[in-house]
């Protein structure tokens, strides 16, 4: 991991933004390849999706649409311990997602003047579940549960076919879908699958969706950026990142383990330590070296940690640490300091925040009840993680009586005349003449 030394002076927000470490290959760089893959699917339909599966996933799935019997089989043959774990995760995510549904409200503006605010679910959504370097049954739960809690009634789920499973969707992904009552599942991955959801695939009977959500690699994130407008998207949840703010009191062994845990997702994953303690920085670097040598995906982890996106950042104090973190906009922010609440008070931008030594990111990835589909690449500076409200739209229902309208008729006339749009005022006058 390279070092960024910010000690000795304060930095403006613009300077911090310029210093933030990022991967050389980002969503913009992957965009051209993603656009070509989406175009192939728009013109070539199923045959293009099968060819892309052959090219990227090591084989053509026997059927793009997974038969209902295969989903049922996956549920019935699911390892009992994994089933219990999935069911507990579903329970917890459902509880936390229910708390994200905003209440419908009625505001009495004046006599006979009422604005109702209602939250309307999106009718049909497409959910992406990754499956390249790893498989993600947990992402089935993280996508489906908030959609169901929001009241979405039509859900299509896509996930890449797996070479090791005869080019079928991974059975635990199918089992997770089955446990949640999802029966529309397709064996397709990457940018082509995002295009298929957004534009539909006629010869497959895949109807276009109105919103595409879910995590994926840089090509998936690029594809989501490209189809935005045709369908809505959640945040771009691309290659994962973790930023740990730690002081001298933190346990270097745990900090290192958490950095490595996210680096194992992808060579493009980012792991950043920000600290005011050179002793802790040295200890974490030594621990990372020791633990990487023992970890399963050591090559991928090494690539991620030595990439330009990962770094150890030295700061004068924890206020400067929070300022750097805000500029980075981490997907996951861990605060491992003596007074975590004090650091939290200075944090504005983060996808999800993990406080103290017993709240590692792995907890949020699987079992906290929080959602693990989170904005990456600095998007947490303006975007939120996937949640029930992502699947809802607020709609204001305007309900005025004659008396209520009369009270504002003069204001409308004045403003419409000022804007040189007199027909607007006339439409109100017509109601009183
Ligand atoms: N931010 C989040 O919320 C979040 C959550 C979970 C996972 N993730 C991220 O999701 C990603 C999962 O990646 P993955 O690769 O394991 O699975 P994936 O399903 O995202 O990607 C696999 C697909 O990528 C496409 N692809 C592969 N190589 C390509 C190439 N050279 N050109 C064009 N397309 C290509 C193929 O279509 C393949 O099916 C990781 O980066 C991980 O960090 C993010
Ligand atoms: N850390 C990933 C992005 O938040 C989510 C995940 C799923 N499985 C393991 N981890
Ligand atoms: Zn993870």
What number of CA atoms fall less than 13 Å from residue 329's CA on the CB side? Answer: 18
pLDDT at 25: 82
- With 0-12 / 13-18 / 19 or more C-beta atoms within 10 angstroms meaning exposed / middle / buried, residue 318 is buried
Determine, yes or no, domain membership for 120.
yes
Active site residues: 331-332
Res. 179: pLDDT tops 90: yes
For residue 230, count other CB atoms closer than 10 A to its CB. Answer: 16
Same domain assignment for residues 265 and 408: no
255 lines ligand 2 (CB under 6 A): no
| Selection from 281, 344, 354, 267 nearest residue 311 by Cα | 281
Could you give phi then psi for residue 412, rounded to 5 degrees?
Answer: -65, -45
Domain count, the chain: 3
Would the annotation count 12 as a binding residue? no
What number of CA atoms fall less than 13 Å from residue 179's CA on the CB side? Answer: 29
Q: Which two tokens stand for residue 69?
A: 């019997």
pLDDT at 26: 86
SS3 per-residue string spanning the chain = CEEEECCCCCCCHHHHHHHCCCCCCCHHHHHHHHHHHHHHHHHHHHHHHHHHHHHHHCCCCCCCECCHHHHHHHHHCCCHHHHHHHHHHHHHHHHHHHCCCCCCEEEEEECCEEEEEEEEECCEEEEECCCCCCCCHHHHHHHHHHHHHHCCCEEEEEECCEHHHCCECCHHHHHHHHHCCCCCEEECCHHHHHHHHHHCEHHHCECCCCEEECCCCHHHHHHHHHHECCEEECCCCCCCEEEEEECCCCCHHHHHHHHHHHHCCCCCCEEEEEECCHHHHHHHHHHHHHHHCCCCCHHHHHHHHHCCCCEEEECCCHHHHHHHHHHHCCCEEEEECCCHHHHHHCCCCCCEEEECCCCCHHHHHHCCCCCCCCCCCCHHHCCCCCCHHHHEEEEEEEEECHHHHHHHHHHHHHHHHHCCCHHHHHHHHHHHC
For residue 306, count other CB atoms closer than 10 A to its CB. Answer: 13
User: Which structural domain, as residue segments, surrounds residue 176?
Assistant: 27-237+388-392
- Centroid of ligand 2 to alpha carbon of 273 (angstroms): 19
For the chain, report the end-to-end CA distance as a whole number of angstroms. Answer: 76
Give the ipTM of the model, two decimals please.
0.99
Same domain assignment for residues 200 and 217: yes
| Percentage of the chain lying above the pLDDT 70 cut | 100
Residue with CA nearest ligand 2 atom 9: 365
| Percentage of the chain lying above the pLDDT 90 cut | 98
Helices 218-227 and 27-57 pack at an angle, to 10 degrees, of 110
Q: Do residues 353 and 346 touch, judged by C-beta distance below 8 A?
A: no
pLDDT digit string, tens, across residues 297-348: 999 999 999 999 999 999 999 999 999 999 999 999 999 999 999 999 999 9
How far is 255 from 248, CA to CA, in rounded Å?
Answer: 12
Determine, yes or no, domain membership for 376.
no
Per the prediction, the chain carries an average pLDDT of: 97
Residue with CA nearest ligand 1 atom 4: 215
How far is 85 from 120, CA to CA, in rounded Å?
Answer: 31
Same domain assignment for residues 322 and 299: yes
Mutate to test the pocket of ligand 1, among 195, 215, 225, 330 (most ligand atoms within 8 A of CB): 215
Arithmetic mean of pLDDT, 356-380: 97
- Ligand located closest to 239 CA: 1
Res. 286: pLDDT tops 90: yes
pLDDT at 143: 98
- Ligand located closest to 332 CA: 2
pLDDT digit string, tens, across residues 116-138: 999 999 999 999 999 999 999 99
Res. 162: pLDDT tops 90: yes
Same domain assignment for residues 316 and 245: yes
Arithmetic mean of pLDDT, 380-400: 98
Arithmetic mean of pLDDT, 185-208: 98
Same domain assignment for residues 88 and 223: yes
- Centroid of ligand 1 to alpha carbon of 159 (angstroms): 10
6 lines ligand 2 (CB under 6 A): no
Q: Indicate which CATH number applies to the domain containing 155.
A: 3.40.50.1980
Opening angle at CA 248, ends 243 and 254, nearest 5: 55
Determine, yes or no, domain membership for 177.
yes
Arithmetic mean of pLDDT, 208-222: 98
How would you list the strands of the sheet with 241-246, edge to edge?
Answer: 2-5, 311-314, 270-275, 241-246, 332-336, 352-355
pLDDT at 59: 98
Q: Do residues 181 and 153 touch, judged by C-beta distance below 8 A?
A: no
How far is 317 from 301, CA to CA, in rounded Å?
Answer: 29
Res. 366: pLDDT tops 90: yes
Determine, yes or no, domain membership for 294.
yes
pLDDT at 433: 87
pLDDT band at 291 (very low <50, low <70, confident <90, very high): very high
Same domain assignment for residues 317 and 409: no
Same domain assignment for residues 218 and 87: yes
Determine, yes or no, domain membership for 379.
no
Give the pairing of strands 154-159 and 124-128.
Answer: parallel
Determine, yes or no, domain membership for 355.
yes
Rg of the Cα trace of the chain?
Answer: 25
Residue with CA nearest ligand 2 atom 6: 365
Same domain assignment for residues 116 and 262: no
Same domain assignment for residues 34 and 6: no
pLDDT band at 389 (very low <50, low <70, confident <90, very high): very high
Same domain assignment for residues 278 and 175: no
Determine, yes or no, domain membership for 382.
no
Residues lining ligand 1, Cβ inside 6 A: 33, 52, 56-57, 130-134, 136, 139, 160, 189-191, 215-217, 219-220, 237-240, 265-266, 269, 331, 372-374, 376
Same domain assignment for residues 274 and 300: yes
pLDDT at 38: 98
Opening angle at CA 347, ends 344 and 352, nearest 5: 80
Same domain assignment for residues 31 and 86: yes
Residue with CA nearest ligand 1 atom 42: 239
pLDDT at 29: 86
Res. 193: pLDDT tops 90: yes
Determine, yes or no, domain membership for 377.
no
């Amino acid at each position: 991991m390279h070092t960024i030394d910010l000690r000795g002076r304060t930095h403006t927000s613009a300077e911090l933004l310029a210093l933030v470490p990022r991967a050389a290959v980002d969503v913009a760089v992957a965009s051209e390849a993603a656009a070509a893959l989406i175009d192939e699917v728009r013109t070539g339909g199923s045959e293009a999706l099968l060819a892309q599966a052959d090219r990227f996933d090591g084989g053509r799935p026997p059927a793009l649409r997974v038969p209902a019997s295969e989903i049922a089989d996956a549920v019935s043959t699911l390892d009992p311990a994994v089933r219990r774990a999935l069911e507990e995760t579903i329970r917890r995510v459902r509880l936390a997602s229910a708390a994200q549904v905003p209440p419908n409200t009625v505001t009495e503006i004046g006599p006979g003047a009422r604005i109702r605010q209602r939250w309307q679910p999106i009718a049909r959504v497409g959910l992406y579940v990754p499956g390249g370097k790893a498989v993600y049954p947990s992402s089935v739960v993280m996508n489906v549960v908030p959609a169901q809690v929001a009241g979405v009634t039509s859900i299509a789920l896509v996930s890449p076919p797996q070479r090791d499973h005869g080019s079928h969707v991974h059975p635990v992904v199918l089992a997770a879908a089955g446990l949640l009552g999802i029966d529309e599942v397709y064996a397709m991955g990457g940018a082509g699958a995002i295009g298929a959801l957004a534009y539909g695939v006629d010869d497959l009977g895949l109807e276009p969706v109105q919103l595409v959500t879910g995590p994926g690699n840089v090509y998936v994130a690029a594809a989501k950026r490209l189809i935005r407008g045709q369908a809505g998207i959640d945040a771009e949840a691309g290659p994962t990142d973790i930023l740990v703010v730690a002081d001298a009191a933190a346990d270097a062994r745990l900090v290192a383990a958490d950095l490595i845990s996210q680096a194992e997702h992808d060579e493009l994953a980012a792991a950043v330590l920000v600290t005011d303690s050179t002793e802790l920085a040295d200890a974490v670097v030594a621990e990372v070296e020791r633990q990487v040598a023992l970890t399963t995906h050591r090559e991928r982890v090494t690539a991620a940690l030595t990439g330009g996106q990962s770094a150890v950042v030295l700061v004068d104090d924890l206020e400067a640490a929070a300022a750097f973190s805000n500029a980075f906009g981490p997907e996951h922010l861990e605060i491992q300091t003596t007074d975590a609440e004090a650091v939290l008070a200075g944090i504005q931008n983060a996808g999800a925040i993990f406080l103290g030594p017993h709240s590692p990111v792995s907890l949020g990835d699987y079992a906290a009840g929080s959602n693990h589909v989170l904005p990456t690449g600095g998007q947490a500076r303006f975007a939120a993680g996937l949640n029930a409200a992502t699947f809802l739209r607020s709609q204001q229902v305007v309900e005025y009586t004659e008396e209520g309208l009369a009270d504002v008729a003069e204001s409308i006339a004045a403003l419409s005349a000022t804007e040189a749009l007199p027909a607007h005022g006339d439409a109100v006058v017509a109601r009183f003449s």
